[in-house]
Chains A and B, each alone.
Chain A
Amino acid sequence: MKAVTVVDLTKKFGDFTAVDSVSFDIEQGEIFGLLGPNGAGKTTTISMLATILSPDSGKALVAGHDIQKDQPGVRKSIGIVFQDPSLDEELTGWENMDFHGRLYRIPKKIRLERMEELLDLVGLTERKDDFVKTYSGGMRRRLEIARGLLHRPKVLFLDEPTLGLDPQTRNYLWDYIEKLSNEMNISVILTTHYMDEADRLCNRIGIIDRGKIIAMDTPENLKETMGGDVITVRSPDYHGHIADLKRGWIEKVESYDGCFSIALHGAEEHLPELIRILVERQVTISSVSIHKPTLEDVFLHYTGRRIRDSGNSAKEQMRMAYRARRH
Chain B
Amino acid sequence: MDVIHTIWLRNVKRYLRSRSRIVGSLGMPLFFLIILGFGLNSVVTIPSVSENYVEFLVPGIVSMSVLFTSIFSGVQIIWDKQFGFLKETLVAPVSRIEIMLGQTFGGATTAIIQGTIILVLSLFVGLNIPGIGGFLIAFGFMALIGVGFTSLGIAIASRMEDMNGFQLIMSFLIFPIFGLSGAMFPIESLPPMFRSLTLADPLTYGVEGIRFGLCGVSQINPLTCLAVLLSFSIVMIFAGAFLFRKVKM
Contacts and interface: CB of A to CB of B under 8 A. Distances in A.
Interface of A: 47, 50-52, 72, 75-76, 80, 82, 84-91, 95, 99-100, 102-105, 147
B246 interface: no
B89 A103 contact: yes
A90 B14 contact: yes
Given A102-B3, A105-B3, A85 B93 contact: no
Query: Dominant SS at the B interface?
Result: helix
B188 interface: no
B92 A104 contact: yes
Contact of A85 (B3, B10, B83): B83
Nearest to A83: B84
A187 to B, nearest CB: 18
A103 B6 contact: yes
A6 B13 CA distance: 42
A102 B6 contact: yes
Interface string B1-14: 01101100010011
B91 interface: yes
B17 interface: yes
Given A89-B83, A105-B3, A100 B88 contact: yes
A103 B249 contact: no
Contacts of B83: 85-86, 88-89
Contacts of B3: 102-103, 105
Nearest to B87: A86
B38 interface: no
A82 B85 CA distance: 10
Instruction: Give the interface centre of B2, B14, B88, B90 by most chain A CB atoms within 10 Å.
Output: B88
A48 B84 CA distance: 18
Interface residues of B, number: 21
B2 A102 contact: yes
A52 B2 CA distance: 23
Given A75-B93, A91-B13, A86 B88 contact: yes
B93 A104 contact: yes
B94 interface: yes
Contacts of A47: 249
Contacts of A87: 84-85, 88
Instruction: Give the interface centre of B5, B14, B83 by most chain A CB atoms within 10 Å.
Output: B83
B246 to A, nearest CB: 13
A75 B92 contact: yes
B239 to A, nearest CB: 23
Interface string B88-126: 111111100000000000000000000000000000000
23 contacts: A50-B91, A52-B91, A75-B92, A75-B93, A82-B84, A84-B87, A85-B84, A86-B87, A86-B88, A87-B88, A90-B18, A91-B13, A100-B88, A100-B92, A102-B3, A102-B5, A102-B6, A103-B6, A103-B89, A103-B92, A104-B93, A105-B3, A147-B88
